Amino acid sequence: MKKNAFITIMALCTTLCMAQKKTVSIDYTPFIGTWIYQNNDTIFRINLKPIITTSRALIINRLWGGYSISIHNTLIDNCIGLYPDSLIRENNEEEKYNIGIDAFMYSLPEDESYLTRDKIKTIFYDKQRMHNKGNGIGGGHIVSISNDSIHWYLDEKKGARQKELKFENLGFSVPTDVIMIREK
Protein backbone atom coordinates (compact mmCIF):
# COMPACT_ATOMS: atom_id res chain seq x y z
CA MET A 1 0.00 0.00 0.00
CA LYS A 2 2.83 2.40 0.86
CA LYS A 3 4.56 1.62 -2.44
CA ASN A 4 1.37 2.39 -4.38
CA ALA A 5 0.90 5.67 -2.49
CA PHE A 6 4.54 6.63 -3.12
CA ILE A 7 4.22 5.90 -6.85
CA THR A 8 1.00 7.89 -7.06
CA ILE A 9 2.45 10.88 -5.19
CA MET A 10 5.62 10.84 -7.31
CA ALA A 11 3.61 10.70 -10.53
CA LEU A 12 1.32 13.50 -9.35
CA CYS A 13 4.20 15.76 -8.25
CA THR A 14 6.07 15.19 -11.48
CA THR A 15 2.94 15.86 -13.51
CA LEU A 16 2.18 19.09 -11.68
CA CYS A 17 5.76 20.32 -12.10
CA MET A 18 5.79 19.58 -15.81
CA ALA A 19 2.18 20.11 -16.87
CA GLN A 20 3.08 20.57 -20.53
CA LYS A 21 4.37 17.00 -20.78
CA LYS A 22 2.24 13.97 -21.59
CA THR A 23 2.12 11.44 -18.76
CA VAL A 24 2.10 7.73 -19.47
CA SER A 25 1.11 6.03 -16.23
CA ILE A 26 0.63 2.28 -15.95
CA ASP A 27 -0.06 0.10 -12.91
CA TYR A 28 2.91 -2.24 -12.52
CA THR A 29 1.81 -3.59 -9.14
CA PRO A 30 1.61 -7.25 -10.28
CA PHE A 31 5.30 -7.17 -11.27
CA ILE A 32 6.89 -5.23 -8.38
CA GLY A 33 9.00 -7.26 -5.97
CA THR A 34 11.59 -9.99 -5.84
CA TRP A 35 11.10 -13.14 -7.92
CA ILE A 36 13.04 -16.40 -7.77
CA TYR A 37 13.59 -19.46 -9.93
CA GLN A 38 15.48 -22.49 -8.67
CA ASN A 39 16.50 -25.60 -10.56
CA ASN A 40 18.83 -27.97 -8.72
CA ASP A 41 21.93 -25.89 -7.88
CA THR A 42 20.97 -22.87 -10.02
CA ILE A 43 19.21 -19.94 -8.34
CA PHE A 44 18.08 -17.00 -10.48
CA ARG A 45 16.55 -13.97 -8.75
CA ILE A 46 15.21 -10.68 -10.12
CA ASN A 47 14.03 -7.59 -8.28
CA LEU A 48 11.77 -5.01 -9.95
CA LYS A 49 11.07 -1.52 -8.59
CA PRO A 50 9.02 1.35 -10.03
CA ILE A 51 10.83 4.36 -11.44
CA ILE A 52 9.68 7.53 -13.17
CA THR A 53 11.65 8.74 -16.17
CA THR A 54 11.10 11.92 -18.12
CA SER A 55 12.13 13.10 -21.53
CA ARG A 56 11.38 16.33 -23.34
CA ALA A 57 7.82 15.27 -24.11
CA LEU A 58 6.88 12.38 -21.83
CA ILE A 59 6.74 11.35 -18.21
CA ILE A 60 6.81 7.56 -18.09
CA ASN A 61 6.61 5.20 -15.18
CA ARG A 62 8.36 1.89 -15.72
CA LEU A 63 10.21 -0.78 -13.77
CA TRP A 64 13.93 -1.02 -13.28
CA GLY A 65 15.56 -3.94 -11.63
CA GLY A 66 18.50 -6.13 -11.06
CA TYR A 67 19.23 -9.81 -11.12
CA SER A 68 21.50 -12.33 -9.50
CA ILE A 69 22.46 -15.83 -10.47
CA SER A 70 24.29 -18.43 -8.43
CA ILE A 71 25.35 -21.91 -9.46
CA HIS A 72 26.57 -24.53 -6.98
CA ASN A 73 26.38 -21.94 -4.16
CA THR A 74 28.76 -19.65 -6.08
CA LEU A 75 27.47 -16.17 -6.91
CA ILE A 76 28.12 -15.68 -10.63
CA ASP A 77 26.54 -12.27 -11.08
CA ASN A 78 24.73 -9.83 -8.81
CA CYS A 79 23.38 -6.43 -9.80
CA ILE A 80 20.43 -6.37 -7.41
CA GLY A 81 20.41 -3.14 -5.48
CA LEU A 82 22.92 -1.38 -7.74
CA TYR A 83 20.29 0.73 -9.51
CA PRO A 84 18.57 3.92 -8.37
CA ASP A 85 15.27 3.82 -6.50
CA SER A 86 14.02 6.82 -8.45
CA LEU A 87 15.25 8.95 -11.30
CA ILE A 88 13.86 11.89 -13.18
CA ARG A 89 15.75 12.58 -16.40
CA GLU A 90 15.35 15.77 -18.36
CA ASN A 91 16.89 14.64 -21.63
CA ASN A 92 16.62 11.92 -24.23
CA GLU A 93 20.22 10.78 -24.00
CA GLU A 94 20.67 7.21 -22.85
CA GLU A 95 22.32 7.20 -19.45
CA LYS A 96 24.44 4.35 -18.20
CA TYR A 97 23.23 2.78 -14.97
CA ASN A 98 24.19 -0.53 -13.53
CA ILE A 99 20.73 -1.97 -14.04
CA GLY A 100 19.96 -5.46 -15.19
CA ILE A 101 16.36 -5.09 -16.32
CA ASP A 102 14.31 -2.27 -17.84
CA ALA A 103 10.64 -3.30 -18.03
CA PHE A 104 7.76 -1.35 -19.52
CA MET A 105 4.40 -1.52 -21.27
CA TYR A 106 4.69 -0.03 -24.71
CA SER A 107 3.34 -1.21 -28.01
CA LEU A 108 4.23 -0.52 -31.58
CA PRO A 109 1.31 -0.67 -34.04
CA GLU A 110 2.57 -3.98 -35.47
CA ASP A 111 2.88 -5.52 -31.99
CA GLU A 112 -0.48 -4.93 -30.32
CA SER A 113 -0.09 -8.09 -28.21
CA TYR A 114 1.74 -6.03 -25.57
CA LEU A 115 -1.32 -3.92 -24.79
CA THR A 116 -2.37 -6.08 -21.87
CA ARG A 117 -2.07 -5.40 -18.16
CA ASP A 118 -0.48 -8.78 -17.56
CA LYS A 119 2.50 -8.53 -19.95
CA ILE A 120 5.47 -6.19 -20.01
CA LYS A 121 8.43 -5.95 -22.37
CA THR A 122 11.99 -6.13 -21.11
CA ILE A 123 15.40 -4.91 -22.08
CA PHE A 124 17.93 -7.18 -20.42
CA TYR A 125 21.48 -6.06 -19.60
CA ASP A 126 23.47 -9.29 -19.34
CA LYS A 127 26.64 -8.42 -17.43
CA GLN A 128 28.40 -11.58 -18.67
CA ARG A 129 27.44 -11.65 -22.38
CA MET A 130 27.26 -7.85 -22.99
CA HIS A 131 24.69 -7.86 -25.84
CA ASN A 132 24.74 -4.75 -28.03
CA LYS A 133 28.10 -3.70 -26.52
CA GLY A 134 26.59 -3.63 -23.03
CA ASN A 135 23.58 -1.50 -24.00
CA GLY A 136 21.10 -4.30 -23.39
CA ILE A 137 18.86 -6.30 -25.66
CA GLY A 138 15.08 -6.36 -25.98
CA GLY A 139 12.97 -9.21 -27.22
CA GLY A 140 11.98 -10.43 -23.78
CA HIS A 141 8.87 -10.16 -21.69
CA ILE A 142 7.42 -10.92 -18.30
CA VAL A 143 3.87 -12.21 -17.95
CA SER A 144 1.97 -12.05 -14.66
CA ILE A 145 0.43 -15.49 -14.15
CA SER A 146 -0.90 -14.94 -10.63
CA ASN A 147 -0.14 -12.78 -7.59
CA ASP A 148 2.75 -15.09 -6.77
CA SER A 149 4.13 -16.19 -10.15
CA ILE A 150 5.44 -14.73 -13.39
CA HIS A 151 6.73 -16.11 -16.67
CA TRP A 152 10.22 -14.76 -17.53
CA TYR A 153 11.18 -15.01 -21.20
CA LEU A 154 14.17 -13.77 -23.23
CA ASP A 155 14.56 -14.02 -27.02
CA GLU A 156 17.95 -12.90 -28.33
CA LYS A 157 17.02 -13.20 -32.01
CA LYS A 158 13.88 -11.08 -31.58
CA GLY A 159 15.84 -8.51 -29.57
CA ALA A 160 18.45 -8.19 -32.31
CA ARG A 161 15.72 -7.72 -34.96
CA GLN A 162 13.99 -5.00 -32.92
CA LYS A 163 17.16 -2.89 -32.79
CA GLU A 164 18.29 -3.91 -36.29
CA LEU A 165 21.43 -5.42 -34.78
CA LYS A 166 23.50 -8.21 -36.22
CA PHE A 167 22.42 -11.42 -34.52
CA GLU A 168 25.47 -12.55 -32.55
CA ASN A 169 24.07 -15.71 -30.91
CA LEU A 170 25.77 -14.95 -27.59
CA GLY A 171 23.09 -16.66 -25.55
CA PHE A 172 22.32 -15.52 -22.01
CA SER A 173 23.98 -16.11 -18.66
CA VAL A 174 20.56 -16.50 -17.02
CA PRO A 175 17.58 -18.79 -17.66
CA THR A 176 15.53 -17.65 -20.66
CA ASP A 177 12.12 -19.31 -20.32
CA VAL A 178 11.07 -20.03 -16.73
CA ILE A 179 8.28 -19.61 -14.22
CA MET A 180 9.39 -17.54 -11.21
CA ILE A 181 7.69 -17.28 -7.84
CA ARG A 182 7.45 -14.24 -5.59
CA GLU A 183 10.00 -14.33 -2.82
CA LYS A 184 8.37 -13.92 0.58
* pLDDT tens sequence across 67-126: 999 999 999 999 887 666 556 555 433 445 567 888 877 644 445 454 567 888 888 888
Which is nearest to 33 in space by CA: 148, 178, 176?
A: 148
Q: Are 61 and 24 in contact (CB under 8 A)?
A: yes
φ, ψ of residue 102 in degrees (nearest 5): -120, 115
- The reported pLDDT for the residue numbered 33 is 94
Domain that holds residue 113: 2-182
3-state helix vs strand vs coil in the chain, percent to 5: 20, 40, 40
As a whole number, mean pLDDT of residues 26-51 equals 92
Which is nearest to 178 in space by CA: 150, 159, 155, 156?
A: 150
Query: pLDDT tens-digit profile of 8-32?
Result: 665 555 555 545 566 656 788 999 9
- The reported pLDDT for the residue numbered 22 is 60
Q: Are 37 and 178 in contact (CB under 8 A)?
A: yes
Q: Structurally, how many domains does the chain consist of?
A: 1
Residue 57 has pLDDT above 70, yes or no: no
- The reported pLDDT for the residue numbered 114 is 47
Q: Are 142 and 125 in contact (CB under 8 A)?
A: no
Q: Are 159 and 137 in contact (CB under 8 A)?
A: yes
Q: Are 142 and 96 in contact (CB under 8 A)?
A: no
Alpha carbon of 158 to those of 24, 27, 82, 169, 179: distances in Å? 25, 26, 27, 11, 20
- The reported pLDDT for the residue numbered 85 is 57
Task: Tell me the pLDDT band of 6, cut-offs 50, 70 and 90.
Answer: low
Burial of 18 (0-12, 13-18, 19+ CB in 10 A): middle
As a whole number, mean pLDDT of residues 134-148 equals 88
Residue 48 has pLDDT above 70, yes or no: yes
As a whole number, mean pLDDT of residues 53-61 equals 69
Percent share of the chain, pLDDT over 90: 29
